[in-house]
Structure 1
Amino acid sequence: METLRILHTNDLHSHFEHFPKIGRYLKKAQADTSVDEVYTFDAGDFMDRSHPLTDATEGQANIKLMNGFDYTAITIGNNEGISNPHWVLEHLFDHAKFPTILANLREEDESMPKWAVGHKILTTKKNTRIALIGLTAAYPMTYGPNHWHVKMLGSTMDQELAKIKDQYDVLILLTHVGLKMDRWLAKNYPQIDLIVGGHSHDLLAHGEKVNRTWITQTGKWGNYVGDIHVELEDHRVTKIVPNTVATASMPAKPEDEAVIQGYYDKGKKLLSERKVADLPEKFTDDKVAAVQVSLDAIANFAKTDLAILSSGLFLTPFKSGVLTQYDLQNALPHPMHVVRSTLKGSDLWRLVMEIEKNRHYLDHFHLQGMSFRGKIFGQMYYKGIKVDMRKRIVYVNGSEIDPEKEYQIACLDHYVLVPFFPTLAIVGENEFLFPQFLREVVGEYLAKKYPLSSRSEVND
């Protein structure tokens, strides 16, 4: 008999507050001599630019810390693949000490990214051949504008399995596709022994078995670590026992808090040194002023007269005086991109009616996911649009909307994804604008509109 221990994480999202405990747990488990082999995997979204240190280092701090976790292999999530500009992802793994397994992403010329392989064959000490295949969420609408070609899961699996035919005894997938798609993979590819998954933030405390395939996920943010026991006979899996361990149950050390705070302070220091603009007095503690100038910013970026934004995006107002990248990151931590949506006048009217219908509900609606890093959705604000709800008339730049005319409006990918404004997703011709994301767009606009004076550059 042969025994394996498989440790795994997913959706860490730069929650560095758990890293000291996770690091110690992994190190101890990796030294386990009661089993024949220990492997450690991550299933993506290990970085999140809402943390100052990740943002300041473009993920390199994450790679350095993950090197200390001694991963056998990882795959990437949408936070690595979409929230980063193409060139950042190209160099994200320059100093990684682990391989990145990713079968369904290509450069625009259809070549494999230089930092990834579609599959990898591991050979245990007892000569069992373990094939790893990595898959990430297939989002062509957002990977495409970022100059990547993302491939569908089924065709990718068919091609990758053909490449490794007769070369493996055990098949393990590292996936960042969500539980629903993991179940689909398990049903359609029964040769899969184990799926180490992520993306949907499901906690499968003891795994989920679909036919003969085990699926595992550890929730989100490093709240749990996966720990799987595997038994084999004659190089074939006979038993898989998935388990998860709560990070809160792991022993803390007195120095942990200082280490965790140090990560934040280092990121804050780096971002605070990068000055953006010199804002006038009107921005002091005025969130509406921040929203209004950000409406101007995204409209300018998208080259439109119209724009919409929600107040819940702004976790803090801007301030008067020198605004730094840290101030912007603190106010707008969301990895969202601007979208230019083209709508007929009748459809734009309908979108405005959807906004007005949901306005009071959304004002205090607690929202999670879809790139949102705040707490509540908040109030919707318009640029170039006014509404007379008593008469149900929408005015665009002072004139009543023309039902047959085409209009372009700047919004966010977030609004295309949330279910409150279906008109955008159903009939909008949506162009996702890359590579800058929201706070970068706002920062570039503020830098031009309120440039740093020589006094502020020297004195602040």
Structure 2
Amino acid sequence: MLETIRILQTNDLHSHFEHFPKIGRYLAAAQADTSVDEVYTFDAGDFMDRSHPLTDATKGQANIKLMNQFHYTAGTIGNNEGISNSHEVLEHLFDHVKYPIVLANLREEDESMPKWAKSYEILTTKKGTRIALVGLTAAYPMTYGPNHWHIKMLDHTMDQALPEIEGKYDVLIMLTHIGLTMDRWLAKHYPQIDLIVGGHSHDLIAKGEEVNGVWITQTGKWGNYVGDIHVELEDHQVKKIVPQTIATASLPAEPEDAKVIQGYLDEGQKILESEKVARLPEKFADDKEAAIHVSLDAIADFAHTDLAMLSSGLFITPFKSGILTKYDLQQALPHPMHVVRSTLKGSDLWRLVMEIEKNRHYLDHFKLQGMSFRGKIFGQVYYKGIEVDHQKRIVYVNGKEVDPLQEYQIANLDHYVLIPFFPTLAIVGDNEFLFPQFLREVVGDYLQREYPIN
């Protein structure tokens, strides 16, 4: 018995709503295809990004509403859903979702399944083929743990999940948000997988990639492409998989698209502008340095430290004098980053500062992507409580030369622990990731206290 299935894929949409009208029309037309036996539509995570005003204003509920209109068969989550949201926001993100979220490697702290997810889903085609869907997301214990989730490693998860579904499926499809390197690892170690519908690393695999007999597909990022995969089966077994990707830019636009896209921005802006944060004095008027220095005070206050560091590239726009709204903050600091309290011996703090100073001129214009960064360049590092005598290579902490044996605590960001330029932080820092607030919320709360509207 022959059977044909068409699989549609999105991944790493990141709230790029400017592509949603075109993507929606393409998916709807493909889902109506009667030349195949079945059409399934999957999303591989990072569909939301709080750098978009509407996503931020609605805590992702606008994304769910729009994703429901795409009529997905199933989806999984990415780190932007799992880490950039507080535990409470993620608990309610899928309250109104109309398709199953498959996710085998995330648990509540008591080891129970999240109420909004299931480890796997079994689909049955009209011709009786049983398709198992298993979901995986990137395993980041450093950041899931402080957010009160238990993230499980991929090998442990697979070795537990596969025996559970043994005998229940004919075709095994993984929905993964773990990146191409780990997708290849999965293919190498679990050849019983037929297809990996992947995301996370933003790789565009135009025609798919076959590894150890397992097909891997990714469509890049931001909805720039849609995946369209042709699967042929015989007697319920996969005989052929032919992946392709469709450039969203090549799809026809409609006259109303621009108005719809602008409407998403306007609606988010309107909601965020209605939420007033602080009344800032004249010194903040278009002065980026003033924004940086008060933000250093804010993260130090939040982390209960005397020392802090921030980079100027984080500040997309300066703050302003007068009433500051959540929209102003969202535009200035769109990054879904969290504050980290790092404990270092004085000798290691000296080394960290030397790493910063060594890289200073290089990073000032360095174009940075990923690691939760939503800006363009890294910029200059500013300190709170730290001064440097470059000629003598002496670091001063609160006016005193650093004691190599004393312990110091410095407030910084998860971003700085993850990027490769300051290895001391990651290698010897005792790093405590502070949840649930992320950077602009920490800064906003501090400004609200220091510069109240009334």
**Does residue 330 in structure 1 map to residue 335 in structure 2?**
no
CA shift digits 1:101-140 (9 cap, x unpaired): 0000000000000000000100000000000000000000
SS of the equivalent of 2:387 reads strand
Match of 2:135 in 1: 134
Map 1:59-78; keep pairs closer than 5 Å.
59-78=60-79
Matching residue's letter, 1:45 = D
- How far apart are 1:215 and its partner, in Å? 0.1
- In 2, Cα distance between equivalents of 1:119 and 1:315: 41
CA shift digits 1:40-64 (9 cap, x unpaired): 0000000000000000000000000
Match of 1:410 in 2: 411
Matching residue's letter, 1:240 = I
SS of the equivalent of 2:85 reads coil
TM-score by length of 2: 1.00
SS of the equivalent of 2:103 reads coil
- In 2, Cα distance between equivalents of 1:338 and 1:155: 30
- How far apart are 1:169 and its partner, in Å? 0.2
- In 2, Cα distance between equivalents of 1:154 and 1:247: 35
- In 2, Cα distance between equivalents of 1:361 and 1:239: 49
Map 1:38-437; keep pairs closer than 5 Å.
38-437=39-438
- How far apart are 1:300 and its partner, in Å? 0.1
- In 2, Cα distance between equivalents of 1:223 and 1:210: 25
- In 2, Cα distance between equivalents of 1:30 and 1:318: 46
- How far apart are 1:30 and its partner, in Å? 0.1
Matching residue's letter, 1:361 = Y
SS of the equivalent of 1:243 reads strand
- In 2, Cα distance between equivalents of 1:103 and 1:360: 44
- In 2, Cα distance between equivalents of 1:91 and 1:395: 46
SS of the equivalent of 2:341 reads strand
Match of 2:439 in 1: 438
Matching residue's letter, 2:10 = T
SS of the equivalent of 1:248 reads helix
- In 2, Cα distance between equivalents of 1:360 and 1:167: 58
- How far apart are 1:229 and its partner, in Å? 0.2
- How far apart are 1:373 and its partner, in Å? 0.1
- In 1, Cα distance between equivalents of 2:219 and 2:201: 10
- In 2, Cα distance between equivalents of 1:323 and 1:408: 30
Structure 1 stretches of 4+ with a deviation exceeding 6 A read none
- In 1, Cα distance between equivalents of 2:156 and 2:411: 35
CA shift digits 1:311-340 (9 cap, x unpaired): 000000000000000000000000000000
CA shift digits 1:285-321 (9 cap, x unpaired): 1000000000000000000000000000000000000
- In 1, Cα distance between equivalents of 2:101 and 2:180: 21
**Does residue 22 in structure 1 map to residue 23 in structure 2?**
yes
SS of the equivalent of 2:283 reads helix
CA shift digits 1:210-254 (9 cap, x unpaired): 011000000000000000000000000000000000000000000
SS of the equivalent of 2:278 reads strand
- In 2, Cα distance between equivalents of 1:235 and 1:366: 49
SS of the equivalent of 1:335 reads coil
Matching residue's letter, 2:251 = M
- How far apart are 1:362 and its partner, in Å? 0.5
SS of the equivalent of 1:132 reads strand
- In 1, Cα distance between equivalents of 2:192 and 2:234: 17
Structure 2 residue runs of 5 or longer lacking an equivalent are: none
- How far apart are 1:161 and its partner, in Å? 0.5
- In 1, Cα distance between equivalents of 2:363 and 2:188: 38
- In 2, Cα distance between equivalents of 1:49 and 1:60: 11
- In 1, Cα distance between equivalents of 2:100 and 2:45: 13
- In 1, Cα distance between equivalents of 2:187 and 2:260: 40
SS of the equivalent of 1:62 reads helix
Q: CA RMSD in A?
A: 0.3
TM-score by length of 1: 0.98
- In 2, Cα distance between equivalents of 1:97 and 1:111: 22
- In 2, Cα distance between equivalents of 1:432 and 1:417: 12
SS of the equivalent of 2:186 reads helix
- How far apart are 1:142 and its partner, in Å? 0.0
SS of the equivalent of 1:394 reads strand
- In 2, Cα distance between equivalents of 1:430 and 1:211: 39
Identical amino acids, percent of aligned pairs = 81
SS of the equivalent of 2:252 reads coil
- In 1, Cα distance between equivalents of 2:384 and 2:88: 32
SS of the equivalent of 1:263 reads helix
